Structure 1
Amino acid sequence: MADLSTDIALDDERIVRALEEDIIFGRLAPGARLTEDSLLSRFPVTRHFVRQALVQLEQMGIVVRERNKGATVRSLDPEEVQQIYAVRELVQRQAALLIPLPAPQALVDQLLAIHKEHGEHIESGYLRGVHETNDRFHLTLFGACGNKYLVQTIELYMRYSLPVRANSMADRAALDISHSQHRLMIEMLQGRDNWVLAQLCVDHLQPSKRRYIDLVGH
């Protein structure tokens, strides 16, 4: 007999994953409404599962739920973007400064493997893979700082900035630049200058931030 709690988790996960992809890849634009009825017509589940999925998406920071208004895809104004990225710059700079250099070869090899996979997904146009390997690369890199609370904060603000980062996902030139910067980060790990590595990690954030602000500011 199937475990009911497992079935519930699988249904929630399936809905969350599908909607997350729609948001990441621009099929659902910032500000788009997510009504329970429309989701029920798309997914063969009960209203309970839909509501639980919306709660999870809200916790991830990519959906906003308001009383009497329902759920919408999170949309950020330029000031919110500036504030989120101010925090991202602070925590990622600090994490990079805490990474012991030169880094262990095991870490370098792990990042090279992720970097290779990331490049393969860019070449094939598999955007889900691009997104997942990008996040895995950064969390592996910053995980080397040795402060799990700092890494948790980095991951949280990566989620908050998802609408901003998603805007560059379909831009091949932007993906190529990001990929080449990942390679530079790996090279920096084999040196001894944390400040150069930290500045590169901050500079890496700027293109998607500027692109999004230019888009919503007009």
Structure 2
Amino acid sequence: MDSLTETGAEEHDDLSIARALEEDIIFGRLAPGTRLTEDMLLARFAVTRHFARQALVQLESMGIVVRERNRGATVRSLTASQVKEIYAVRELLQRQAALWIPLPAPDSLIAELNAIHEEHGRHIEAGFLRGVHETNDRFHLTLFGACGNAHLVQSIELYMRLSLPVRANSMANTASLRVSHEHHRLMIDMLKGTDNWVLAQLCVDHLQPSKARYLDRVG
């Protein structure tokens, strides 16, 4: 095997490690606070130490792993106070984005969101959590992307990542996923109207169930 092929294979393994660990974290198989060592990754995945380290860097950039000096990498955990602070910012960002979306929205945006919404529903009923997670994020980033401010949308995406430990808490609950799915349908309906304030309030209300469940769990 030539050197170019070997490099490509290692890069693919690097991405596969990050993706596998991301799923374990998002879907609760790795609990908040769990230590992630390079040796642990080497034992689980057939890669070099360099690529194991790069996988941890990728997860840190996504906001779901924290790396600290003398402690190494751990699955991100959030205190009740941190959750409240993160969600206060999420509410501000999402409310403002919803207020800036021109209404009524164009048919092309409605059609795109409907397609994502249908895919999201299929994944919920099939129990395909990876698909549920990805289509949920795609729905919200497409929706808020219509506000016309790319920097605001980037901030929304950042705080979506920071809140992953909270959001993951709802992933195994089909009933809560169906409620979230219904909220998405209502958002699409509101895009057809002219009341940005009602849309903005729904976008804020949509955040509350997963936050409340997490806060109940951590006390």
What TM-score does the superposition give when structure 1 sets the normalisation length? Answer: 0.97
Contact 2:25 2:75 in 1 (8 A): yes
The total of aligned residue pairs comes to: 217
Alpha-carbon RMSD across the aligned residues, in angstroms, is 1.1
Task: Describe the SS at the equivalent of 1:72.
Answer: strand
Choose which of 151, 154, 158 in structure 1 pairs with 2:153: 151
Q: Deviation per CA, 1:53-86: give whole Å up to 9, x if none.
A: 1011111110011111111100000000001001
Equivalent position of 2:70 in the other structure:
68
Equivalent position of 1:27 in the other structure:
29
Equivalent position of 1:178 in the other structure:
180
Choose which of 101, 104, 113 in structure 1 pairs with 2:103: 101
Instruction: List gaps (5 residues or longer) in structure 1.
Output: none
1:84 lines up with 2:86 in the alignment: yes
Deviation at 1:170, TM superposition (A): 0.4
Equivalent position of 1:113 in the other structure:
115
Matched AA of 1:108: I
Equivalent position of 1:196 in the other structure:
198
Task: Describe the SS at the equivalent of 1:44.
Answer: coil
Task: Describe the SS at the equivalent of 1:65.
Answer: strand
* CA distance, structure 1, for counterparts of residue 49 and residue 147 of structure 2: 42
Q: Deviation per CA, 1:14-59: give whole Å up to 9, x if none.
A: 1110000000111001111111111100000011101111011111
Instruction: List gaps (5 residues or longer) in structure 2.
Output: none
Deviation at 1:7, TM superposition (A): 4.0
Task: Describe the SS at the equivalent of 2:104.
Answer: coil
Equivalent position of 1:49 in the other structure:
51
* CA distance, structure 2, for counterparts of residue 200 and residue 3 of structure 1: 50
* CA distance, structure 1, for counterparts of residue 112 and residue 175 of structure 2: 25
Contact 2:10 2:47 in 1 (8 A): no
Deviation at 1:181, TM superposition (A): 0.2
* CA distance, structure 2, for counterparts of residue 215 and residue 32 of structure 1: 17
* CA distance, structure 1, for counterparts of residue 74 and residue 60 of structure 2: 9
What TM-score does the superposition give when structure 2 sets the normalisation length? Answer: 0.96
* % identical aligned pairs: 75
* CA distance, structure 1, for counterparts of residue 145 and residue 69 of structure 2: 38
* CA distance, structure 1, for counterparts of residue 197 and residue 135 of structure 2: 25
